[in-house]
Structure 1
Amino acid sequence: MPSPPLFTALHVVQPGDGGVARVVADVAAAQVSSGMRVAVACPPGTELAAAARAHGAEVHPWRAGREPGRGLVAESLRVARLVDAVRPDLVHAHSAKAGLAARLAVRGRVPTVYQPHAWSFEAVGGPAAALARRWERWAARWTDRVICVSDAERRRGEGAGVRAAWSVVHNGVDTARFAGAADRAAARAALGLPAADPLVVCVARLCRQKGQDDLLRAWDAVRRRVPAARLALVGDGPEAGALRAAADGSVLFAGAVADPAPWYRAADLAVLPSRWEGLALAPLEAMAAGRPVVVTDVDGARESLPPGQEPYCLVRPGDPEALAGALAALLQRPVLRAELGRRAQRHVRERFDVRRAGAAIADVALG
């Protein structure tokens, strides 16, 4: 008697790099391990395409831009053709652009899960934000479940009038990989960094969302209090040129890296001054490496920090003065910084392990 066909999940993803890509790669690995057939449609030649293939998923090229535009109709048609070819039991769309194209293509014909990874209406203002909220409310009729990466993200969707079946699955990281060898001096030597200078590291795409412009506005004040401090911006993106023009010689632009773990190990302190998020991965990675992290009070930030660290590590978004104060205060208190890092590492190991997150999303898909 022939065995029944495997349950098939098709992930439709844009972007194919950064935090979203790492989340999808981890989910694909967990689903393959659980015995599912997994297909990933994403832009070709990206980090996600390589990682998903390495985990045993089928990878289908899906050429799509990050933003809605004239190519949307063609992009949605390409999703429809992929659905016909793959014949999935479930379509799982990740981020706003894929959520738009995939739900227009499928329109409820196949069970559909949508994971916003931060709501589209937070990225824009005025009429564009109102239009994005209206779309999310409308598209909920073609969505069997919305998976949010934080309770705050779910509440924001509910507040925008999105009526859906909700699940909250916090992002997770490979805690063992980021913990690794915690020798700061060895990490700095390998990266060619000064051995003794206080180092703040920001790992993120260089774009408006991640707030590196606010970080540079804060940096002069940090340097006045900690003159030897250095800042490393790890990543690349559309704001790279403007940020370079605004930075002084104490700021290092490391570019995009395949593995940010050595940068966390080299750091005294990590920072992510985002304007909006769902639940960012970079702070979890930094904490898994045993480094405290200063974050802005956006969706997911309070849920990611260990209890009691908010007074030291949480600041208002868009407030360079508060950001400078938090960074300088921690750079000047090495004993406190070390203790916060130890607690953060334990917290992430207990609550944000990637295997738990991947298994939880696999359960949602099969349930």
Structure 2
Amino acid sequence: MHRSATDPRPRVLHLTQPVGGGVARVVLDLTKAQLTAGLRVTVACPGGELAEGARALGAEVRGWRADRSPGAGLPDEVRRLTRLLDEVRPALVHAHSAKAGLAGRLAVRGRVPTLFQPHAWSFEAVGGATAALALRWERWGARWAHRVVCVSEAERATGVRAGIRARYTVVPNGIDTGHFTPGNRPAAAPLVVCVGRLCRQKGQDVLLRAWPEVLRRVPDARLALVGDGPDEAALRRLAPASVEFAGAVTDVRPWYRAADLVVLPSRWEGMALAPLEALACGRPVLVTDVDGARESLPPGHAAHCLVPPGRPGALAGAVAALLLDPELRASLGGQGRRHVLSTHDVRRTAEAVAELYRELLGGRPLVSFECRESIHS
């Protein structure tokens, strides 16, 4: 049941595309915390698991048809969003990831408090002229964000180096430490697990190129790729028989708990959730030195758990060394669990975002959102 227009509580609009993976997890965690705190929450997205999850939590969900990447349909997407904003009349708009950040800022243009959370910068995901256009937009669009929320200090620093002049706030990613907990690992051959969308960003191709060297040093090792995505067919062509494609799963915890080592060989990130989840389950992680990686790790772990991105040889050496040292893995896993409990609990993240909302909304009456003019005006 929708609240009446006279309900005095602020309405937050979360706007997002994509609707799966880590971005959806962050939006759902924030939605849950904000509903519990008494805010009215609307989630606008193109459907998918995010819409289903938000409805299950009790949020209002509005369909917003939008492709994942910018294209010729962008003007229509912005017009649809403009109409949606006029109907929802949010007190604050929180736009997640590059596409929603683009369309959302074009539709709102600063009329109400607007947060943009990139979840990794768009210009890192592309190359050539497309990267240059993405960077130009991020520099221009920053004027329409009352705050840019970065999930790591490294992500903020990347934006600053790129010339994006904005008011930044760093809120590290958090995970539900009551959901992701340690469990017994079944006795079996050494297992490496990689959790993530099968795409260039996550770097599974680098891991597969490293895998023959891992097998040379640890012949009975197995690798499981958990997730689906556009690169699955190409990755299968690279994979030997010791690699399992587990597909998308509704509960990833059994895979973390079965792992001897969790690896995320990303080419870029803001701060990935998978390493935090694995650490919360008491498993050691090996990650590439991209934005947010060092900040995810406990102090002292970088020497064993961090490698340069895009280098199969370095990755293979680190994987094999950890698989051959069970005492070190056990120590790293225990330290990781304690680190996540103290630093990356989702309740800390939700409270930091709530404080930011209070700052942007504090002392002012709720805004009646009027946004009827054309995006070309």
Mark yes or no: TM-score above 0.5.
Answer: yes
User: Whole-Å Cα distance in 2 between the matches of residues 359 and 79 of structure 1?
Assistant: 28
Q: Quick check: 1:91–1:113 contact (8 Å CA) kept in 2? A: yes
Matched residue type, 2:158: R
Which of 158, 161, 165 does residue 159 from structure 1 map onto? 161
User: Whole-Å Cα distance in 2 between the matches of residues 317 and 134 of structure 1?
Assistant: 26
1:3 Cα deviation from its structure 2 partner? 7.7
Alignment match, 2:184? 183
- Structure 1 residue 23 and structure 2 residue 23: aligned? no
Unaligned runs of 5+ in 1: 186-194
TM-score, length basis structure 2 = 0.92
Alignment match, 2:35? 32
Which of 198, 204, 208 does residue 200 from structure 2 map onto? 208
Alignment match, 1:189? none
- Runs (4+) of structure 1 exceeding 4 A deviation are none
Matched residue type, 1:75: E
Alignment match, 1:83? 85
Aligned residues: 355
User: Whole-Å Cα distance in 2 between the matches of residues 261 and 43 of structure 1?
Assistant: 27
Q: Deviations over 1:19-68 (max 9, x none)?
A: 01000100111111111100001111x12112111222111111211111
CA RMSD of aligned residues (A): 1.2
Alignment match, 2:211? 219
- Structure 1 residue 316 and structure 2 residue 319: aligned? no
- Partner SS, residue 111 of structure 2: coil
More deviation, 355-364/147-156? 355-364
- Structure 1 residue 131 and structure 2 residue 130: aligned? no
1:132 Cα deviation from its structure 2 partner? 1.0
1:287 Cα deviation from its structure 2 partner? 0.3
- Partner SS, residue 178 of structure 2: helix
Matched residue type, 2:286: V
TM-score, length basis structure 1 = 0.95
1:4 Cα deviation from its structure 2 partner? 5.7
Q: Deviations over 1:86-113 (max 9, x none)?
A: 0001111000000011111111122211
The 5 Å alignment of 1:79-158 reads 79-158=81-160
User: Whole-Å Cα distance in 1 between the matches of residues 256 and 148 of structure 2?
Assistant: 32
Q: Quick check: 1:31–1:359 contact (8 Å CA) kept in 2? A: no
User: Whole-Å Cα distance in 2 between the matches of residues 124 and 207 of structure 1?
Assistant: 13
Alignment match, 1:190? none
- Partner SS, residue 178 of structure 1: coil
* Cα 1:71/1:3, change in 2 over 3 Å: closer
1:366 Cα deviation from its structure 2 partner? 2.3
User: Whole-Å Cα distance in 1 between the matches of residues 22 and 6 of structure 2?
Assistant: 37
